[in-house]
Amino acid sequence: MKRRGHALALAGMVGGVLAACGEDGTASTPPSPQAGAAAIKLKIEPTISELLTGTDRMGLALFDTAGKPVTGAQVTMEVQGTGGVDEHRPLRDIGPEYGGIPVYTGTASFPTVGVYKLLVSATLPGGGSGAGSIGVKVTDSGSGLPIGAKAPAVKQPIVGDPGVTVGMVDSGNPPDAWHDATVADGLARHRPMVLYFGEPGFCKSRTCGPTVQILQQFAKTYGDRLLIEHIEDHFPAGPDEGAKDDPGFTAFGLGTDPWIYFVNADGVIADRFEGPVTVSDLSTAADGTLAGHVPAVTISLNG
């Protein structure tokens, strides 16, 4: 499966972060510049590849020019469209919850299709500062199934199918437990579902594994109310090069990972997340999905 370029770029820097981590994936905070020091230049990598017109979720990973993670910062983002500065938006640091990866998330408004410039400013823990910019493309539709669409009744391979082992449907180490039902099964039973699309063992953005950990925490509260399923990019699970796509991944029209889809009891897609998330993000979406709201959450500039 061909992956978009941002994932490859993020993989190199995040890979360095994870290589310096212990097995729990928690990165140590680099030394912070002293107060009064010159501002550092930020290297910015979007963690979301599909930005749509309207108010949308946004995620950015921040590094210095040496590739060291910028963690624990207070970050704001200036969104510039064709008419100049459109808005200033705060971003929250989710790194402590998300495996120590230096990810900052928030929302932004993109009124029209086009290329927007994001100017990012950071106040660092030691009193220093950082700044950088990046251009992002905004479209009015994406390749993946949107909120409001009907979920396809796909029967992805699962444990229990003839000849299928857990290693064929889960590249994680250890594997998770979400391989005993298909999307078609959930639809037939009118079960609200959480569908995780990702390949923890081969994820080029290196964010699939931390997403599994977030889902495992989420499942402690919501696992009895929603059917959670893990669908790998490929079947059998393996690296992108030369691998055959999993039919579930194909049915949802995806080209990157990780994604999390919420499907309500009527089989309608109620919400979806690309890239890094928090337990709070998923819990809010779950509550809306269980209440029958489509979208499950109204994305606003206040949250």
Q: By 3-state DSSP, what share of the chain in percent is helix, strand and coil, each rounded to 5?
A: 20, 30, 50
Amino acid identity at 152: P
Amino acid identity at 49: S
Helix, strand or coil for residue 23? Answer: coil
The contacts of residue 276 (CB under 8 Å, 6+ apart) are 47, 59, 94, 98, 101, 103, 105, 207, 210, 211
149 part of a folded domain: no
The number of domains in the chain is: 2
233 part of a folded domain: yes
Q: Please report the pLDDT score of residue 113 as a whole number.
A: 93
Average pLDDT value for residue range 270-284 = 98
Helix, strand or coil for residue 133? Answer: strand
Residues 16 and 93 in one domain: yes
Q: Please report the pLDDT score of residue 36 as a whole number.
A: 53
- Maximum Cα–Cα distance across the chain: 65
Alpha carbon distance 141, 288 (integer Å): 23
The pLDDT tens digits of the residues spanning 220-255 come to 999 999 999 999 999 999 987 778 999 999 999 999
Q: Please report the pLDDT score of residue 22 as a whole number.
A: 32
The pLDDT tens digits of the residues spanning 67-97 come to 999 999 999 999 998 766 677 899 999 999 9
Last residue of a domain, one of 84, 104, 139: 139
pTM over 0.85: yes
208 lies in which domain range?
A: 166-290
Residues 122 and 182 in one domain: no
pLDDT band at residue 173, thresholds of 50, 70 and 90?
very high
Neighbours of 174 (CB within 10 A): 8
- For residue 273, the domain's CATH number is 3.40.30.10
Residues 95 and 190 in one domain: no
Please choose, from the candidates 290, 249, 250, 253, the residue with its C-alpha nearest in 3D space to the C-alpha of residue 270: 290
Q: Please report the pLDDT score of residue 97 as a whole number.
A: 96
160 part of a folded domain: no
Please say whether the beta carbons of 118 and 133 come within 8 A. yes
Residues 186 and 124 in one domain: no
Q: Please report the pLDDT score of residue 10 as a whole number.
A: 54
